[in-house]
Structure 1
Amino acid sequence: MTDTTFSVRVPGGTLELTPGRPALMGIVNANPDSFSDAVRLTALDQQVEHARRLVADGASIIDVGGESGVTYTGVTAEEVEIERVVPLVERLAAEGIVVSVDTWKPAVAEAAIVAGAAILNDVSGLRDERLAEICARTGAALVVMHTRAVPKQEHFHDYAGDVAGDVVAFLQERVAVARAAGVHDEQLILDPGPDFAKTPAETVQSLHAIDTVNALGRPVLHAISRKYFVGAITRQPPAERGAGTLAAAGWSADHGAAILRVHDVRAAADFLAVKAVLDGTAPMPDFDADDDALKWIRATPQRTA
């Protein structure tokens, strides 16, 4: 899966994405109700610092969200979501960080792209076609995701036993809508939508057929971090799904993921680095053989009373 590199067009340049050697998209939630964040980062400076750490840990894209996708809270007003994401996008873009904005609202998307966001990560499956028009006009890249659910509403669709076929048919139809709005192929990224309008078993079924999504000829984003299907397999709550997420990340890399959307960027980067060396797709890196910290832990003597 590593013999093809996609050049994804974004305002002012391109992103080079290679299937099987996924770029890491770090997550910064600027909302108070994310399903997976044990600690809420409510202050702008905290959010900026967290994004910087993710970049230092290996993220090449930062995905900023001002509204959680959970269905137990209501829809966030556009003006509130804009207040949450625009200052953060401005700060990160000013530092040269590639920013994605996770929203399904045209007004929020427009404001975030004007502020410097390079990618629109639309989790609605282009339910509002104005989102495609905004990307066509601004040159922002567009993530087209499979979902049969209205945003913020829980819904399980009847796929008649063929969820994988529905994923491909839906993405083809939505890509056609984006093209008709003026979005170029080079702006498009595809997402099979794990857990969106799918039971955990249906998510697994759709991922088993991921080659059919890869065959559509655009880079594929795998948003697998701490997802419900991982919890259903491991029987772990979101905060304890790190190991399961890494297993999903390894599988995704082996099956052509071009982007991995993850919370724990450092763990994912380390995992992929070791995997690449063991797979023979990357050389053994240089390291300091005199660095004792690489060899053992020096215990700190305990004080006696």
Structure 2
Amino acid sequence: MGILNVTPDSFSDGAKYNQFDKALAHAEYMLAEGADIIDIGGESTRPGAAEVAVAEEIERVVPLIERVKSLGARVSVDTSKPEVMLAAADAGVDMINDVRALQSPGALAAAAACQLPVCLMHMQGQPRTMQANPQYADVVEEVRHFLIERIHACEKAGIASRLLSIDPGFGFGKTLTHNIALLNHLSAFSQLGVPVLAGMSRKSMLGQITGREVHDRMPASLAVALMAMQQGAKIIRVHDVAETADVRKVFIACRKEQ
């Protein structure tokens, strides 16, 4: 899954692709590099991020979804707003990727109406404050329990489990210790019967470990991508598509020889 943020304030590529032509060119570039899904987001969810109005978010993502779909690509929309979900569905989007796990008012009903695949992510708190002081008694068990509850909520609302995937939400209301625990026990999420998405590309957890700035974190991003694959993650959400695709090819080839 290649990341395409059409926002002025995303942590890694803020303002880099918030013009339509540049965003489209980057989508084409990631597809050529081997992306299976282009994940388009019109609102930053970095720590401290400000909220974006519904109309503005729709204006940012819908034309791009339509254009990227015309390339024959699979597209997901990174949003928590039910209005954006519905507009994206009308534009032909293939998947909803929600950092709030369909907890926003109306989101569950909107996703059920769309009948599209949905990724449910765990986040403690809200983007503006989530990294202030995140605390857990047992981060793996608490995140796992939350995601089980959201799977059940979706099924109750009429969204079949075959449409669902889950994301433990690395960096979303977690300290470095929490993130490492989740990565080391990612297989516990793979056992829940739905695909696991892992999104650690260039995140601050890697900066804390390596001391490197955002755009120097590709090697660390590849390391954690491989670790996630080894523990059963089926979707890897990344900035560096070609390099991660090579890691995946080597991983799959070696698995076949076992």
**Paired residue for 2:134?**
157
1:99 is aligned to 2:82: no
**Paired residue for 2:230?**
254
1:238 is aligned to 2:234: no
Q: What letter is aligned with 1:158?
A: Q
Give the whole-Å Cα distance in 2 for the aligned partners of 1:132 and 1:179: 10
Q: Which runs of 5+ in 2 are unaligned?
A: none
Task: Tell me if structure 2 keeps the 8 A contact 1:129–1:177.
Answer: no
What is the deviation of 1:37?
1.3
Q: Which runs of 5+ in 1 are unaligned?
A: 1-24, 283-305
**Paired residue for 2:161?**
185
Give the whole-Å Cα distance in 1 for the aligned partners of 2:173 and 2:113: 30
Residue identity over aligned pairs, in percent, reads: 39
SS state of the match for residue 101, structure 1? strand
What is the deviation of 1:43?
2.1
**Paired residue for 1:64?**
40
> What is the count of residue pairs matched by the alignment?
256
Deviations 1:94-128 (A, max 9, x none): 22211100011111111111111111100013222
Deviations 1:140-181 (A, max 9, x none): 111011112124432443312x10000111001111111111
**Paired residue for 2:180?**
204
Deviations 1:234-267 (A, max 9, x none): 1111111000000001111111110000001011
**Mapping for residues 73-92 of structure 1, pairs under 5 Å:** 73-92=49-68
Task: Tell me if structure 1 keeps the 8 A contact 2:112–2:159.
Answer: yes
Q: After alignment, is 26-35 or 130-139 more displaced? A: 130-139
Q: After alignment, is 120-129 or 221-230 more displaced? A: 120-129
Give the whole-Å Cα distance in 2 for the aligned partners of 1:128 and 1:38: 25
TM-score by length of 1: 0.80
Higher relative contact order (CA 8 A, sep 6+): 1
Pair 1:107–1:153, CA change in 2 (3 A): farther
Q: What letter is aligned with 1:157?
A: P
Q: Considering only aligned residues, what root-mean-square deviation do their CA atoms show, in Å?
A: 1.6
**Mapping for residues 1-305 of structure 1, pairs under 5 Å:** 25-37=1-13, 40-128=16-104, 130-155=106-131, 156-160=133-137, 162-277=138-253, 279=254, 281=256
Q: Please say which structure displays the higher CA radius of gyration.
A: 1
Give the whole-Å Cα distance in 2 for the aligned partners of 1:229 and 1:271: 20
Whose helix fraction is larger, Structure 1's or Structure 2's?
2
What is the deviation of 1:46?
1.6
